[in-house]
Amino acid sequence: MEWTTDNLAARLPIFQQRGPDVPAWRQFLNFLGCLLVLPVYYFITGHSRHPLTLDILISIFVAELNRYYNENRRRRLYGLDASPRTKQDPEKALAMLASRHTGPECMAVVVGYREDPKLFRRALNSYKRADGCRFMLVGVDGDDKPDMDMVRVFQEAYPEDSAVIRIEEPFGELAMRTYQKISDTCYESPERCREMAIAHCCQLAREILTEHDLGLGELGGITRLCLYQPHMHKKAIMFTSFIFSIVISDLLGIEYLWSSDSDTIVFPQSLRSTIETIAGDPTAGGGSSGLVVHNEDDSLTTKLGSAVYWCELYMTRSTSASSGTSDCQSGPSTAFRVSALPAILYPWYTQTVLGRRMIVNEDRHLTTNLLLRGWTVTYVSDTLTATDTPTTPSRWLLQQVRWGRATHIETFQQPRIYLLNHPIFFWAAMKKEVGPLLVFLCVLYYLVTGERFAYFSLSDACLRIAYTIGYNWLRNPDRGPRNAWLWIAPSIIFYNIPLPSIHVWSMLTVFERGWGTTMRSNAEMSKREQFWKRAYDLGFFVVWLGIVGGTAARLVADYSGWDSAATARAIFFGVLGPAAVSFYGLLVRG
């Protein structure tokens, strides 16, 4: 087939939009705001007597601001704040807002690889009660026998009005090959070549759907579809699923897409409430809901992890979202305006950093691409979705390191993003990058010299914890783990002690391509990494616990007035004890 502009222009999906343009004067103001952020942050951290308390008070303020803006978006959707000429009957609008039966609909995409069958079945069943879900597509990354267990679970969960299609080649690779062929034979701009490659993929997806005669949109047609393809990685199955979603949404007249993982359990209002905040703002290209942990009773690690989600996630993610610039749409609870997807799929899938392909930061880079094209991205903090958290300390650490690598890449790779978005976005990014690094350096410096170069107050830390707990109890829609008061203090230690080392190690290994953890099927969970692989992945934490133990011992020695010999002995045993325990627990037992 000859690749020309004319024969592919007609294939462009009808949804091809960008977000609103950011004028040059606004970019200049954003730049000045970013410059102002630096001295303000320096003053709060370096010259205030209560830096932690000030920080949490700012976080509380922006969390409330974020909720206010989201509620306004919903009110705008249902006409509750429209002009007098267009305003509908208030009682009718309030009834619509309460019932949500006539709100925006979406299609849902669920992707996964070798998921635990019981958990996957729970995830699929939860969508049967999801309000506003008109069509569901499941993507399975793999076509070997263990992968077919997921297909079988899909067929058992949806025995009627469903179909299964095998995809011979992942569409991401097809798009890359198509782009190369077009760019070699046509004199088009790179952006136009990307559009034509996506258009070709959409046309192929449309042909596959037509070939299988699924009756989409017809009476008796399917409403549940499962795709599976040769195993590559999560990005590959997401790309294929998104291409089919664009086509199906076009056929069914659906404007919004919900995307989640195979371990995600949705509540009846998860999809509807998240989609409403996008539908009520024409500049919004995407959003995500809050998260809770559904497996908190599996182990001590999941219990602590659940408390961490309750204490930290709600306010941390609200910071940048208060300005409509959420920095990450979480994979378990992501929503898109379908019209925003075609323009971002190719640069998202083919992302490179210093010539290296990136495959493990899929959630963050999707968000970055939306923001670079002028779209608003919301965080719907008053709506919840349930996700799975790792059951062992080693898997928890590996997950956090993977997330840390994505954070570093997306923070620094596209500096232009800070010109296009509110300075609060830059504030949130600097907090994430500078804060843990400062703590790491402070601890190391004190261990070596016995001197402090940063101010710390125990009363300041206690005030921060008190404000965090009080605000979450009052405003967080997640009621927290059972007997939360028992788990708050341990969870703060569980999260904050390894955080500086995770931050530094993820920065040093930012180009690692591995996922870190295996999936939850029996075949995957039975795999055990070699000792040297575990030592490379987790040895940083063993070293860090030794540093923390030695620092704590020096602190005790200094306060007790011990001489230098006693202090040296205390530091030695302070380093040795935690390091030995973590070495055995993480590297030997694994």
List Cα–Cα distances, 120 to 124, 129, 388, 515, 546, in angstroms.
6, 15, 11, 20, 39
Name residues whose C-beta falls within 8 Å of residue 118's C-beta, 6 or more positions apart in sequence: none
Alpha-carbon gap, residue 580 to 573, rounded angstroms? 10
Q: Does 396 lie in the same domain as 328?
A: yes
Q: Does 448 lie in the same domain as 323?
A: no
Do you know the residue count of the chain? Answer: 590
Is 114 in contact with 519 (CB distance < 8 Å)? yes
Is 124 in contact with 261 (CB distance < 8 Å)? no
Q: Does 246 lie in the same domain as 191?
A: yes
Q: Does 542 lie in the same domain as 469?
A: yes
CATH number of the domain to which 153 belongs: 3.90.550.10
Q: Does 185 lie in the same domain as 44?
A: yes
Is 341 in contact with 243 (CB distance < 8 Å)? no
- Judging by beta carbons within 10 Å of its beta carbon (0-12, 13-18, 19+), is residue 235 exposed, middle or buried? buried
- The whole-number pLDDT of residue 71 equals 92
Domain stop point among 369, 400, 432: 432
Q: Does 172 lie in the same domain as 102?
A: yes
Domain stop point among 384, 409, 432: 432
Q: Range of 255's domain?
A: 34-432
- The whole-number pLDDT of residue 5 equals 42
Beta strands in 256-305 (DSSP E): 256-261, 265-266, 284-293
String of DSSP letters for 459-486: HHHHHHHHHHHHHHHHH-SS--STTHHH
Q: In what side-by-side order are the strands of the sheet with 334-337? A: 162-166, 224-229, 133-141, 106-112, 256-261, 334-337, 284-293, 376-387, 265-266
- In a domain, residue 540? The reply is yes
The predicted model scores a pTM of 0.90
- In a domain, residue 198? The reply is yes
Number of domains in the chain: 2
Q: Does 526 lie in the same domain as 483?
A: yes
Computed on alpha carbons and rounded to an integer, the radius of gyration of the chain in Å comes to 25
- The whole-number pLDDT of residue 140 equals 96
Q: Does 204 lie in the same domain as 104?
A: yes
Q: Does 517 lie in the same domain as 457?
A: yes
> Residue 274 is which amino acid?
T
Q: Does 441 lie in the same domain as 413?
A: no
- In a domain, residue 549? The reply is yes
Per-residue pLDDT of the chain (590 residues; tens, 9 = 90+): 444 444 444 444 444 577 888 899 999 999 999 999 989 888 888 788 888 899 899 889 988 999 999 999 999 998 876 544 444 555 555 555 555 456 899 999 999 999 999 999 999 999 999 999 999 999 999 999 889 999 999 999 999 999 999 999 999 999 999 999 998 887 788 888 998 999 999 999 999 999 999 988 888 889 999 999 999 999 999 999 999 999 999 999 999 999 999 999 999 999 999 999 999 999 999 999 999 999 999 999 999 999 999 988 888 888 777 677 888 888 899 999 999 999 999 999 999 888 888 888 888 999 999 999 989 999 999 999 999 999 999 999 999 999 999 999 999 988 999 999 989 899 989 989 998 999 999 999 999 998 888 778 889 989 998 999 899 889 989 877 777 778 888 998 999 999 999 999 999 999 887 655 555 555 555 555 688 888 999 999 999 999 999 999 999 999 898 999 999 999 999 999 999 999 888 888 76
195-199 LR contacts (CB < 8 Å, sep 24+)? 195/12, 195/16, 195/342, 195/343, 196/3, 196/5, 196/8, 196/9, 196/11, 196/12, 197/346, 198/12, 198/13, 198/243, 198/342, 198/345, 198/346, 199/8, 199/9, 199/11, 199/12, 199/13
- In a domain, residue 473? The reply is yes
- The whole-number pLDDT of residue 173 equals 94
| Token pair belonging to 469 | 């707990």
Domain stop point among 382, 401, 432: 432
- The whole-number pLDDT of residue 484 equals 73
Helix 117-126, helix 145-157: angle, nearest 10: 30
Q: Does 471 lie in the same domain as 387?
A: no
- The whole-number pLDDT of residue 515 equals 58
- In a domain, residue 7? The reply is no
What is the distance of C-alpha 193 from the center of its chain?
Answer: 29
- In a domain, residue 391? The reply is yes
- In a domain, residue 8? The reply is no
Q: Does 292 lie in the same domain as 365?
A: yes
- In a domain, residue 14? The reply is no
